[in-house]
Amino acid sequence: MLRLALGLAAFSVLGSDAQKASAATPLVQIPSDVALFPLEDLKPGMKGVGRTVFANQKIETFDVEIIGALENSAPKQTMVMARLTGGPLANTGVIAGMSGSPVYIDGKLLGAVAFGFGFSKEAIAGITPYVEMTGFSRLNDDALRVSASSGDAGLRPIPLRMSGLPMPLDPQTLVTRFTEALNAVGASASKSPAGLSGLSPLPIPLSVSGLSGAAFDVAKGLFSKMGFTPVQAPARGKAPGALPPLAPGSPVAISLIQGDFDFSATGTVTHIDQDAVYAFGHPFFGIGPIDFPMRQAWVYDVFPSLNQSFKIASAHETIGRFQQDRATGISGKLGPGPRMIPVKLTLQNRPGARQEYSFSVVQNDLFTALTVYASVLSVLQSQERVAGPSTVTLDATVNFTSIPPMRLQDQFAEGQPGAMAAGLVGAAISFVMNNEFRRVSLDSVSVNLIAKEAQETAAIDRAWLENDGPVHPGDTVPIKVALRTFRGEEVVIPISVDVPAGSTPGRYVLNVSDGAALSLSEQREMRQAFVPRSLDQIVRAVNSIRKSTQIYVRLQRFEEGAAVSGTLLPGLPPSMMQVLGKSEGGEPVVRTATTVVWDGQQPVDYSIKGARILALQIER
């Protein structure tokens, strides 16, 4: 038999008159007098009742029989074990979405249903004592404004930083680092057993609406890795019936996305203390201070499952904001909802067919990037061809409140074009929001996409000088570049190279290449990892990412050059090269084998691959 937990002195305080709840708004209905059940009085076999909604907003009771209590199930935490019966529980077991359902003994509040076993034959639950749910203090508004948008005070690390990436930045490396970081965060989201084998926090149903079946499958794959249980919910609209006042046992939702798309996690209210709402009894995601919408929810029914039954629910009116996401539950305040980040998403997948989506996402170091990424990816992959060539053109703008905007423009036509386009937007947002210099507030995001059922790629087949005559400083040298398209057609592109007037006579090379090849060449030559010295430098680095739809032409001479912070310095006299050691910012200066004399680029209608080298002799 499990040993009963010893008494906690805090109960005498929390059970005082100050704990008596009173209705603060017409949306709230609270028992007139709620006392707490002391843990020292708990004994195996005691009977109690719980409150939750199984369907259609009716708060129902279920029976609770105490099995015992686990001391130190986590450091300085106690978990009460109980057997639940009544309603559908004999067929469903403990239901995902019951998290936070209050349990009372002799009319006194004991705690919240929060834990369960997968594949259990009985509804055996772990109950988080209410006193532990209130062990973290609520943030006041001033503290919330300072810290809620940052995950650095939270419980889960968010390794989404740009430091260490090779310079110059390139889209493939950015997207790879971003998706690897998301996978790492998702791996850490797996719930650890709390005292008994297989006992873990109840899964959180994440109701998703506004997406097609194919798009939902994409979102489901992403959020399942984060520890949620995505459920395709009815389309957003009015609730099927009148939403009753919020009360202990009522469903409550915490939202990540609102608007044309809606992603909201559903749990149960444990208690309301004036304007403070406590729910779940376990973490939402364990990221500490948050500022997420608190919304009323409608429970349609329970989906029974041998593995894990769950509530089918949808989120509706915003009634406040959740401010804390901690190990023993979430809490927030009734009233106005938080500021959300507006996102406009347009997709054109055939001439004249333009789809527009308007929604808003939470401001958070992790979930802002994740929700924008998930939305873009879901829309694209629901519209793209399942097999065969395709091309996605991206034009996105990310606006901030205090720093210059980021502009992301590129075209993707190989591998998984949709994943690359969505990943680049998500990566850029995440790396800026997780910078190590200062907190950043997003103002808005605009994403414009064009999806075509064709592979619009081309390879650099040949490059040549149009004239064989001598070249002098100050001349304009015409060259031509022949592209071989995906279908085998040849397209010839003329480009003019301006030789600087101060160029010294000698042997030069013209490097004609795609953006990725040029960036890789620079990365190898400079041998510098990106170590940003300021937030503005991060934004500039993202805005300087080379595009796949440009032919890049570079005139270089075989003379020692230099690079600092991932940027090649222009031709320097030998006397200057002798004294170079470190830049003014303290960063080492890397010596390079060549010096860049001139850079140019030519936009084309294809995603380019390949490189060619031309020799050029400049005479007096």
Give the C-alpha distances (Å, rounded to integers) separating 278 from 251, 300, 488, 534. 12, 23, 64, 40
Residue 47 phi, psi (nearest 5): -105, 145
Of the candidate CATH numbers 1.10.3470, 3.30.1740, 3.10.20, 1.20.1260, the domain formed by 341-452 belongs to 3.10.20
Give 34-81 pLDDT, tens digit per residue.
789 998 899 999 999 999 999 988 999 999 999 998 876 565 678 899
Three-class SS of residue 342? strand
Alpha helices, DSSP H, located in 360-476:
367-383, 417-433
- Global pTM reads 0.83
Give 567-613 pLDDT, tens digit per residue.
665 555 555 545 555 445 555 666 666 788 899 999 999 999 999 99
Cα 126 from Cα 199, distance rounded (Å): 8
Angle at 441 between CA 437 and CA 445, to 5 degrees: 125
Residue 435, Ramachandran bin (φ over 0: left; ψ between -120 and 50: alpha; else beta): beta
Residue ranges per structural domain of the chain: 10-133, 141-189+201-334, 341-452, 457-618
Beta partners for residue 557, in sequence order: 508, 595
Q: What does the mean pLDDT of the chain come to?
A: 82
- The pLDDT score that the predictor gives to residue 497 is 95
Give 291-343 pLDDT, tens digit per residue.
999 999 999 999 988 788 999 999 999 999 999 999 899 999 999 999 999 99
Angle at 335 between CA 264 and CA 280, to 5 degrees: 45
DSSP 19: G
Sequence-distant contacts of 7-13: CB under 8 A, at least 24 apart: 7/38, 7/39, 7/40, 7/41, 8/38, 8/39, 8/40, 8/78, 8/131, 10/131, 11/36, 11/38, 11/39, 11/40, 11/131, 12/38
CB-CB contact of 548 with 411 (8 Å): yes
CATH number, span 10-133: 2.40.10.10
Cα 257 from Cα 293, distance rounded (Å): 9
Q: Which of 220, 225, 233, 228 is nearest to 283 (CA)?
A: 228
| Residue for token pair 């708990």 | 42
- The pLDDT score that the predictor gives to residue 217 is 87
All residue ranges of the chain with pLDDT < 50 are: 1-32, 137-157, 191-197, 577, 582-583
Cα 420 from Cα 437, distance rounded (Å): 27
- The pLDDT score that the predictor gives to residue 138 is 43
CB-CB contact of 506 with 597 (8 Å): no
Shared fold status for 10-133 and 341-452: no
Cα 190 from Cα 228, distance rounded (Å): 10
Count CB-CB contacts under 10 A for residue 157.
12
